[in-house]
Amino acid sequence: MPQISIDRSAFDTFAMREVTAADLDAQLAAAGDGLAVVFLWGYDCFNCEIAKKAMLAQPAAIEALGLTWFHSNVYEQPELSRRFALHGVPTWFFFYRGRKLGRATGWHGLAQFEAAVSAARAKIADLREIGS
């Protein structure tokens, strides 16, 4: 199989830790009380590259979201595709203390991504209020 070149700039810039199906839950647990996001992508995915480039074009805005980042190539981790019933990539899943809060599918711009982050934070506030 030919060697595939992957642009890792976004992973490095935003300190995204690579996860596998086997260690995802442990990694999310280690994220603590922060809002964690798992970026599921695939090599040779045009829309994934567009998303990464768009994020890199506005690093301060992405950093300002205060997320704990993880990533995984679902072509190498098909168990994650099945676990999350993916219909396409890129997809971002938001977690708090290992609990899935929501998802964003496709890159539709920073404003929509920020809205997804805000919705996840609102769910965290609700969970804290009810003591879960």
Say if residue 1's pLDDT is above 90. Answer: no
CB 71 within 8 A of CB 23: no
**pLDDT band with cut points at 50, 70 and 90 for residue 132:** low
Backbone angles phi, psi at 91, to 5 degrees: -140, 140
CB 90 within 8 A of CB 48: yes
Condensed to tens digits (0 to 9), the pLDDT of residues 5-57 reads: 788 999 999 999 999 999 999 999 999 999 999 999 999 999 999 999 999 99
Domains of the chain: 39-130 (3.40.30.10)
How far apart (Å, rounded) are the C-alpha atoms in residues 127 and 96? Answer: 9
pLDDT (mean) for 45-73: 97
Say if residue 98's pLDDT is above 60. Answer: yes
**pLDDT band with cut points at 50, 70 and 90 for residue 109:** very high
Q: What does the pLDDT read at residue 66?
A: 97
pTM: 0.93
Backbone angles phi, psi at 59, to 5 degrees: -60, -35
From the list 89, 71, 91, 85, the residue with the least C-alpha distance to 20 is 71
Q: What does the pLDDT read at residue 2?
A: 57
